[in-house]
Each structure stands twice: as C-alpha cells, then as structure tokens.
Amino acid sequence: MKEQELNRRLAAALEHAAPDDLNEILSRCEEQKGTVIPMTNQKHFTGIRRFVPLAAAACLALALFVGVRFYQLNQVASIVSLDVNPSVELSINQNQKVLAAVAANQDGVEILEGMDLKGTPLNVAVNAIVGSLLKHGYVDELANSILITVEDDDAARGEALEQSLAGEVEAILTSASVNGAILSQTVGTNQDLQAKADQYGITLGKATLIQSLVDQNSLLTFEELAGLSVNELNLLASNPQYETANLTSTGTASDGAYIGVEKARLCAYTHAGVDAQDVTWEEVDFDYEDGRMVYELEFCAAGVEYEYDVDALNGNVVKYSQETRNQGQQTQQPQQTQQTQQGQQTQTAPSGSDIGQEAAQAAAFAHAGVTASQAANVVVERDWDDGRLEYSVEFWVGTVEYDYEIDGTTGAVLKQEQQTHQTAATQTIGVEQAQTIALQDAGLTAEQVRELEVSPELDDRTPHYDVEFKSGNMEYEYKVHAETGAILEREQDRD
C-alpha cells in the first residue's frame, strides 16, 4: 500500500475509533467552571484561621476519651517535609504535634542540630526549622524557594494542612524581610516513588516534583534533577512547558545566582548578530540542558526565528538554531494542493534533480566550516516532506553537535542547529561494524542476505544501531550497542 493511502486509511480508522464524548466533556467543563475557587493568599489565611479553632475544638472533644486519645496521639497522621537543599521530615499526629523530626540529607542534620522538636506543636517546629534555614544562609535573595509537602492519604486534611503551613512559612519569611517563593503540595502514599526518593536521599515531596518534570520532558532524568536545589527546580517548574497542576506556587523563584535575563538576552542577540530593536517577539524561560541550568530564549527578528540556550551561570551559548519563517510559510501554504499531487506521485522523486547524500553532507560541512575528517558520528537521512526533498545531516565535531536540514534539490541550508555539550560524543563503532556483528551472530555473510538495512539510533538513551535483514524465509532484527558493539536484542521470525 502506498504511503499516502496508508496515511489516509489510518486517519479514517482513528476518526472512526475515537469516541464522541463531547457532551461528557462539556458537562465536566461546566462543573469545573461552577466550582472554581480562586486560590489567593488571602483565602489561604482565611482557611487557616477557620481551621485553627476547629482543630482546637476537636482536641477538647478527644480529651474525654483518654484511652483512645493515647493511641491517637502516638499515631502518625501526616508527614510534613520541608525541602530547600536541606531536607527535613516531620511526622505529626492528628493534633499536629511532632512525633519525630528526621533529617533527610546531610544539610538537614545541620538544620536540626541542637533541636528537640518531639512533642512540640507543628507550627512551633516549622518556625524553628525555617529560622534555622535562614540563620544558616540556605534561604536568601539568591535562592529563596522552599518546598512544603504534606503526605497524607486523607487528601482534604492534607490540603488544609498544606495551606496552613504555606501561610505560616510565608509569614516567617516576610517577617525576616526575605522575598520567598513557596511551593506546596499534598501527596498520597506512593511506595515506588518513595523507594526512588530513598535511593537518591531526597524526600518523597522533592521526588514527586522531580518525577512530574521528568514525565513531561524525556530529555530530563530523575538522577540529574535529584541533585538540583528546590530553587532550581522552582525555576524549571515556572517554565510554561511544564504542567504543575498539583503544585501551589506563591512568590517568584530567585535567579539572583545567575547572569539574569538581560545578560542572557544580550549574549543571544550578539551571537545571532541581531539588534534588539529588530526583535519582534521574544520569550525567555529557564530550562535544564545537558547538565546545566540555561536561559531558553526564543525570538524573531527580520523574518528569522531563533532559539537559544544560554548557560545561566556564564552566558555561554550552549545550543542555538535558526529558521527562516518565510520558508516555513511558503511550504505550508500550498500544502493542500501538494498533498494531492503527492498522493498521485506517491513516492516518486520531486521534479528537481536530487543532489544526493554526499552533496547534502558537503553542504552541511561547508556551512559549519568543518572538514569531513573532523566530523564524527555522521548520520544523513533523505526525506520527502511537505512537497520538498530534504536531507537531514547530523554530526559531531569535538563537543559540538550539529543538525542540518538541506534542500535536496538546491543544497540550500533550510535549518541549522548546534549544541555544545559538556563532553565529546563517544566514538561509535560505525554502520559497517554494526552490520558485521549482526551478520556474524546470525552465521551469515552479506552475500547470503537481502533487504539489509542498518539504522543508527545514536540519540537514544542507549545509543545503538538497528540492523535488519532477511535470509531464506527468515527475517532478522538486531540492536547493536553503538559504542561497545554488544548485541542488546536479537529477534528472528519467519518472513
């Protein structure tokens, strides 16, 4: 079946398979609209004040039942964790008295030193801990974020406590004249995540925040984010690309430890050769790239769209790309007509002549100012996209990774991207070696097989080559490690 027909059939199948739940969705949106409660700080404080007398009344009632009370007072109702870089966990009973205070990391030990918090009311303990954080210089204008997590399987009770604590901490920071940024969340028991938190020596609260970011960006790993402070995580969470629905945030995370947006902007504009006056649109967010905090800048100037990652500590450009907007529009506008033509032509080549892989590769090398002998891990792919033949050329020179899109008929550079990594690309075994390893494993020679195909998947978490071929009535599929040549997977089926 031809590509276009397959695409059309798949689109039709999904159109048929997707249930029509509009009424259900509209009713849910109606409910949402009707029950939204504005979450302002004022409301939080009102909540606390209402909650305190209620809790006191509950305590009095319980006092009548001494036996029951003894049990309840020693039962952990919630676990409250405070994370900055030091992490501290407080187990509390249902009367909000501290049953145990534990440091979750080495910095936490310093914070709790000399404090006996057992039996103290939670608000007193939190006051003491935040005071200690301030005294030891962990919360200041350079890093002002605190994460408060209430772990409680009774979500309503947990959320009430979360709001109360957020208000409490905010008041302490305000009285200390620190412009704080507070993140707060309520979580239920999660054994898998707890095990991961224990493995990295962080609290469940911090693990929950990290997991939520990792879930939304496959380029991030739990391991590297576990080493970041809460202020750095707060800066990342403020990037609109991340959904943090379960996290309440007040205040703004400080970027005082970094070069600042203005300097980052200047670095990017200078690198791009763009005058600030010519910039028509811009967005700046924080992100984490290749082991460092970066300012992620997107801007347009003179019809060109730029994307920059600027090292937040030293202003070095670590990654950038640029794309001419007009080209994108020109190719998008006639898409409808071209699709029809393409449907008729199916996989035939475009009308212009194909410059070929080598010329495309040479065009990319020339643009980057490198020679073929300098480039490593070169991958060239041919594609017929949007009515245009394109070559994608990817290669490394030292620690710099280059990505190019080259017009397949003119050799023009359509898009370029380059990224400076902390380390150079690991030397790969190459396509031919991967092919040899797979064939040897299958006990076959190149002459004995047909439809032999080797695809480099060097950007996968485990860089590897996919090797596929057929021999007789059998079909073989291999995954070969790109650096070690080890066979990661082998599959053999009847063709």
Partner 1 sequence: MMTLLVAMAAQAGENLQPEILEGLMAGLAAGDRDSLAALYHRTRAAVYGLALSYLKNGHDAQDVTQDTFVRVWEKAPQYQAKGKPLSWILTIAKNLSLMKLREKGKTQDLEPQEWESLAIDSPAVTWEDRQLLLAALKQLSAQEEQIVILHAVTGMRHREIASLLDLPLPTVLSKYHRALKKLNASLKGDEDR
DSSP conformation class of 50: H
Instruction: Find the binder of partner 1 among 19, 34, 38, 443 (CB under 8 A).
Output: 19
Ramachandran area for residue 462 (φ above 0: left; ψ -120 to 50: alpha; else beta):
beta
- The contact mask relative to partner 1 for 295-334 (x = CB under 8 A, - = no) is ----------------------------------------
Q: Which stretch binds partner 1 (CB under 8 A): 14-22, 76-84, 105-113, 436-444?
A: 14-22
Instruction: Find the binder of partner 1 among 141, 383, 432, 491 (CB under 8 A).
Output: 383
Q: Which is nearer to partner 1, 20 or 116 (CB)?
A: 20
Q: Which stretch binds partner 1 (CB under 8 A): 19-27, 51-59, 121-129, 159-167?
A: 19-27
Binding to partner 1 in span 95-154, by CB under 8 A: none
219 binds partner 1 (CB under 8 A): yes
343 binds partner 1 (CB under 8 A): yes
Q: Which is nearer to partner 1, 27 or 74 (CB)?
A: 27
Instruction: Find the binder of partner 1 among 113, 278, 432, 460 (CB under 8 A).
Output: 460
- The contact mask relative to partner 1 for 165-204 (x = CB under 8 A, - = no) is ---------------------------x------------
Whole-angstrom Cα distance, residue 37 to residue 22? 25
Amino acid at 25: I
Q: Which residue has the tokens 């400076």?
A: 420
Instruction: Find the binder of partner 1 among 194, 221, 238, 339 (CB under 8 A).
Output: 339
Taking a C-beta distance cutoff of 8 angstroms, is the pair 167, 44 a contact? yes
Give the CA-trace dihedral at 291, 297, 302, 303, to 10 degrees.
80
- The contact mask relative to partner 1 for 231-270 (x = CB under 8 A, - = no) is ---------xx-x---------------------------
Whole-angstrom Cα distance, residue 357 to residue 96? 69
Q: Which is nearer to partner 1, 101 or 237 (CB)?
A: 237
379 binds partner 1 (CB under 8 A): yes
The token duo for 152 is 């409680």
CB 31, min distance to partner 1, A: 9
Q: Which stretch binds partner 1 (CB under 8 A): 67-75, 149-157, 271-279, 452-460?
A: 452-460
Q: Which of 467, 470, 441, 443 is nearest to 456 (CA)?
A: 467
12 binds partner 1 (CB under 8 A): yes
Q: Which of 407, 385, 384 is nearest to 393 (CA)?
A: 407
Q: How many alpha carbons fall within 13 Å on the CB side of residue 302? A: 9
Cα dist. 90→75, 109, 119, 191, 311 in Å? 13, 13, 11, 18, 37
Q: Which residue has the tokens 């000399």?
A: 114
Give the CA-trace dihedral at 105, 291, 139, 163, to 10 degrees.
-80
Q: Which of 452, 383, 460 is nearest to 428 (CA)?
A: 460
Q: Which is nearer to partner 1, 140 or 466 (CB)?
A: 466
Cα 275–chain centre separation = 31
386 binds partner 1 (CB under 8 A): yes
Helix axes 155-175, 41-63, angle to 10 degrees: 120
Q: Which stretch binds partner 1 (CB under 8 A): 64-72, 202-210, 311-319, 382-390?
A: 382-390
CB 199, min distance to partner 1, A: 16
Instruction: Find the binder of partner 1 among 198, 358, 385, 432 (CB under 8 A).
Output: 385
6 binds partner 1 (CB under 8 A): yes
CB 283, min distance to partner 1, A: 8
Q: Which stretch binds partner 1 (CB under 8 A): 22-30, 74-82, 122-130, 132-140?
A: 22-30
336 binds partner 1 (CB under 8 A): yes
Return the beta strands (E) in 116-264 as ranges: 145-151, 181-187, 248-250
Whole-angstrom Cα distance, residue 235 to residue 153? 29
- The contact mask relative to partner 1 for 269-288 (x = CB under 8 A, - = no) is --------------x-----
Instruction: Find the binder of partner 1 among 392, 416, 428, 471 (CB under 8 A).
Output: 392
- Count residues contacting partner 1 (CB under 8 A)? 62
- Cβ of 484: how many Cβ atoms within 10 Å? 13
Q: Which is nearer to partner 1, 137 or 240 (CB)?
A: 240
Return the beta strands (E) in 93-241 as ranges: 98-103, 145-151, 181-187
CB 247, min distance to partner 1, A: 14
DSSP conformation class of 332: H
Residue 435 parent element (H or E): helix 431-442
Q: Three-state SS for 460?
A: coil
The token duo for 308 is 């920059």
Instruction: Find the binder of partner 1 among 47, 455, 485, 490 (CB under 8 A).
Output: 455
Taking a C-beta distance cutoff of 8 angstroms, is the pair 378, 361 a contact? yes
DSSP3 helix / strand / coil % (the chain, rounded to 5): 40, 30, 30
Q: Which residues bind partner 1 (CB under 8 A)?
A: 1, 3-22, 24-26, 28-29, 32-33, 192, 211, 215-219, 240-241, 243, 283, 335-336, 339-340, 343, 379, 381, 383, 385-386, 392, 394, 403, 405, 415, 453, 455-457, 459-460, 466, 468
